[in-house]
Amino acid sequence: MARSRNGSGPPRLDTENVLVTEAGPPSVGIVVVSHSGLVADATVALIRQLANLESEGPRLVAAGGLEDGSVGTDAVRIADAIRAADAGAGVVVMADLGSAVLSAFTAVEELLDAEAATRVAISGGPLVEGTFVAAVQASAGDTLEGVRGAADEAAAMDKLGDRR
Protein backbone atom coordinates (compact mmCIF):
# COMPACT_ATOMS: atom_id res chain seq x y z
CA MET A 1 0.00 0.00 0.00
CA ALA A 2 1.12 3.57 -0.59
CA ARG A 3 1.55 6.22 2.05
CA SER A 4 -0.48 9.40 2.06
CA ARG A 5 0.67 12.34 -0.05
CA ASN A 6 3.00 13.78 2.63
CA GLY A 7 4.64 10.38 3.21
CA SER A 8 2.98 9.66 6.53
CA GLY A 9 -0.38 8.34 7.53
CA PRO A 10 -2.10 5.11 6.66
CA PRO A 11 -1.62 3.31 3.35
CA ARG A 12 -4.32 3.90 0.76
CA LEU A 13 -5.49 2.68 -2.62
CA ASP A 14 -6.74 5.13 -5.24
CA THR A 15 -8.97 2.56 -6.94
CA GLU A 16 -9.60 -1.14 -6.59
CA ASN A 17 -6.89 -2.26 -9.04
CA VAL A 18 -4.31 0.51 -8.80
CA LEU A 19 -1.42 0.51 -6.36
CA VAL A 20 -0.39 4.15 -5.92
CA THR A 21 3.12 5.01 -4.82
CA GLU A 22 4.29 8.50 -4.06
CA ALA A 23 7.82 8.12 -2.68
CA GLY A 24 10.58 9.25 -5.05
CA PRO A 25 10.25 10.01 -8.74
CA PRO A 26 7.33 8.46 -10.62
CA SER A 27 7.73 4.95 -11.97
CA VAL A 28 6.59 3.66 -15.32
CA GLY A 29 3.13 2.16 -14.88
CA ILE A 30 1.96 -1.15 -16.32
CA VAL A 31 -1.46 -2.10 -17.67
CA VAL A 32 -2.33 -5.78 -18.06
CA VAL A 33 -4.89 -6.32 -20.83
CA SER A 34 -6.57 -9.71 -21.10
CA HIS A 35 -9.76 -11.00 -22.63
CA SER A 36 -10.55 -12.30 -19.15
CA GLY A 37 -10.99 -10.08 -16.14
CA LEU A 38 -9.94 -13.00 -13.94
CA VAL A 39 -6.70 -13.48 -15.87
CA ALA A 40 -5.86 -9.75 -15.80
CA ASP A 41 -6.59 -9.46 -12.06
CA ALA A 42 -4.67 -12.65 -11.25
CA THR A 43 -1.68 -11.54 -13.32
CA VAL A 44 -1.51 -8.23 -11.45
CA ALA A 45 -1.80 -10.02 -8.09
CA LEU A 46 0.87 -12.57 -9.04
CA ILE A 47 3.33 -9.93 -10.25
CA ARG A 48 2.84 -7.82 -7.12
CA GLN A 49 3.80 -10.88 -5.05
CA LEU A 50 6.65 -12.17 -7.22
CA ALA A 51 8.23 -8.74 -7.66
CA ASN A 52 7.58 -7.85 -4.01
CA LEU A 53 5.55 -4.78 -4.95
CA GLU A 54 3.08 -4.87 -2.08
CA SER A 55 4.20 -1.59 -0.51
CA GLU A 56 6.34 0.14 -3.12
CA GLY A 57 6.58 -0.02 -6.85
CA PRO A 58 5.01 0.94 -10.12
CA ARG A 59 1.29 1.24 -10.62
CA LEU A 60 -0.07 -2.04 -11.99
CA VAL A 61 -3.58 -1.94 -13.38
CA ALA A 62 -5.73 -4.78 -14.70
CA ALA A 63 -7.94 -4.09 -17.72
CA GLY A 64 -9.57 -7.40 -18.50
CA GLY A 65 -12.84 -8.61 -19.86
CA LEU A 66 -15.97 -6.65 -20.57
CA GLU A 67 -18.12 -4.61 -18.17
CA ASP A 68 -20.62 -7.44 -17.75
CA GLY A 69 -17.87 -9.92 -16.84
CA SER A 70 -17.88 -11.69 -20.18
CA VAL A 71 -14.79 -12.40 -22.26
CA GLY A 72 -13.50 -9.64 -24.52
CA THR A 73 -11.53 -6.42 -24.55
CA ASP A 74 -12.78 -2.87 -24.19
CA ALA A 75 -10.78 0.10 -25.48
CA VAL A 76 -12.53 2.46 -23.03
CA ARG A 77 -11.59 0.23 -20.09
CA ILE A 78 -8.00 0.10 -21.38
CA ALA A 79 -7.82 3.88 -21.79
CA ASP A 80 -9.11 4.34 -18.23
CA ALA A 81 -6.50 1.86 -16.95
CA ILE A 82 -3.73 3.71 -18.80
CA ARG A 83 -4.78 6.99 -17.19
CA ALA A 84 -4.83 5.34 -13.76
CA ALA A 85 -1.40 3.73 -14.25
CA ASP A 86 0.34 6.87 -15.50
CA ALA A 87 2.21 8.60 -12.69
CA GLY A 88 4.02 10.81 -15.20
CA ALA A 89 6.77 8.45 -16.40
CA GLY A 90 4.58 6.64 -18.93
CA VAL A 91 2.83 3.29 -19.18
CA VAL A 92 3.71 -0.04 -20.73
CA VAL A 93 0.72 -2.07 -21.90
CA MET A 94 0.95 -5.86 -21.82
CA ALA A 95 -1.69 -7.84 -23.76
CA ASP A 96 -2.66 -11.51 -23.96
CA LEU A 97 -3.73 -11.92 -27.61
CA GLY A 98 -3.68 -10.01 -30.88
CA SER A 99 -7.14 -8.49 -30.58
CA ALA A 100 -6.20 -7.18 -27.11
CA VAL A 101 -3.29 -5.42 -28.80
CA LEU A 102 -5.69 -3.92 -31.35
CA SER A 103 -7.95 -2.68 -28.53
CA ALA A 104 -4.91 -1.18 -26.79
CA PHE A 105 -3.91 0.69 -29.95
CA THR A 106 -7.49 1.93 -30.31
CA ALA A 107 -7.41 3.19 -26.72
CA VAL A 108 -4.12 5.02 -27.27
CA GLU A 109 -4.85 6.43 -30.71
CA GLU A 110 -8.52 7.36 -30.30
CA LEU A 111 -9.32 7.77 -26.60
CA LEU A 112 -6.26 9.35 -24.97
CA ASP A 113 -5.26 12.95 -25.47
CA ALA A 114 -2.22 13.41 -27.70
CA GLU A 115 0.17 14.24 -24.85
CA ALA A 116 -0.82 11.17 -22.80
CA ALA A 117 -0.57 8.95 -25.87
CA THR A 118 3.11 9.87 -26.27
CA ARG A 119 3.78 8.26 -22.87
CA VAL A 120 2.35 4.83 -23.77
CA ALA A 121 4.31 1.89 -25.18
CA ILE A 122 2.57 -1.35 -26.13
CA SER A 123 4.72 -4.45 -25.61
CA GLY A 124 4.70 -7.55 -27.75
CA GLY A 125 6.13 -9.59 -24.88
CA PRO A 126 4.37 -12.50 -23.17
CA LEU A 127 1.74 -11.54 -20.63
CA VAL A 128 3.09 -13.05 -17.39
CA GLU A 129 6.86 -13.06 -17.98
CA GLY A 130 6.74 -9.70 -19.73
CA THR A 131 4.70 -8.11 -16.96
CA PHE A 132 7.10 -9.52 -14.36
CA VAL A 133 10.27 -8.15 -15.96
CA ALA A 134 8.51 -4.87 -16.75
CA ALA A 135 7.54 -4.48 -13.09
CA VAL A 136 11.08 -5.24 -11.94
CA GLN A 137 12.56 -2.73 -14.40
CA ALA A 138 9.97 -0.09 -13.55
CA SER A 139 10.56 -0.53 -9.82
CA ALA A 140 14.30 -0.08 -10.47
CA GLY A 141 13.55 3.29 -12.09
CA ASP A 142 14.08 2.35 -15.73
CA THR A 143 12.69 4.54 -18.52
CA LEU A 144 9.56 3.83 -20.55
CA GLU A 145 11.62 2.44 -23.44
CA GLY A 146 13.76 0.38 -21.06
CA VAL A 147 10.70 -1.14 -19.40
CA ARG A 148 9.06 -1.94 -22.72
CA GLY A 149 12.33 -3.35 -24.08
CA ALA A 150 12.67 -5.68 -21.10
CA ALA A 151 9.06 -6.82 -21.50
CA ASP A 152 9.59 -7.47 -25.21
CA GLU A 153 12.78 -9.44 -24.54
CA ALA A 154 10.89 -11.75 -22.19
CA ALA A 155 9.60 -13.50 -25.32
CA ALA A 156 13.11 -14.90 -25.83
CA MET A 157 13.58 -16.16 -22.26
CA ASP A 158 14.82 -19.74 -22.21
CA LYS A 159 12.81 -21.35 -19.41
CA LEU A 160 13.99 -24.87 -20.19
CA GLY A 161 17.75 -24.45 -20.48
CA ASP A 162 19.42 -27.84 -20.89
CA ARG A 163 16.24 -29.78 -20.05
CA ARG A 164 14.84 -30.00 -23.55
Read off the pLDDT of residues 22-62 as tens digits, 9 standing for 90 and up: 557 889 999 999 999 999 999 999 999 998 875 667 999 99
The pLDDT score that the predictor gives to residue 25 is 84
Q: What is the pTM of this model?
A: 0.84
Amino acid letter, residue 26: P
What is 32-73 written as a DSSP string?
Answer: EEES-HHHHHHHHHHHHHHTT-SSSS--EEEEES-TTS-S--
35 among known catalytic residues: yes
Q: What is the pLDDT of residues 70-115, one digit of tens each?
A: 999 999 999 999 999 999 999 999 999 999 999 999 999 999 999 9
Edge-to-edge strand order for the sheet containing 60-64? Answer: 60-64, 29-34, 91-95, 120-122
Q: Regarding the domain delimited by 29-155, which CATH topology (the fold level of the hierarchy) does it fall under?
A: Rossmann fold (3.40.50)
Amino acid letter, residue 93: V
The pLDDT score that the predictor gives to residue 51 is 87
The pLDDT score that the predictor gives to residue 41 is 97
**Residue that wins the pLDDT comparison between 12 and 72:** 72
Give the Cα separation of 70 and 73 in Å (integer): 9
Which residue among 31, 32, 35, 78 is the active-site one? 35
Q: Are 130 and 154 in contact (CB under 8 A)?
A: yes
Q: What is the mean pLDDT of the chain?
A: 87
> Is residue 92 exposed (0-12), middle (13-18) or buried (19+ Cβ within 10 Å)?
buried
Beta bridge partners of 18: 15
The pLDDT score that the predictor gives to residue 56 is 64
Q: How far is CA 56 from the centre of its chain?
A: 15
Q: Are 63 and 78 in contact (CB under 8 A)?
A: yes
Question: Domain spans of the chain?
Answer: 29-155
131: pLDDT strictly greater than 80: yes
Give the Cα separation of 148 and 125 in Å (integer): 8
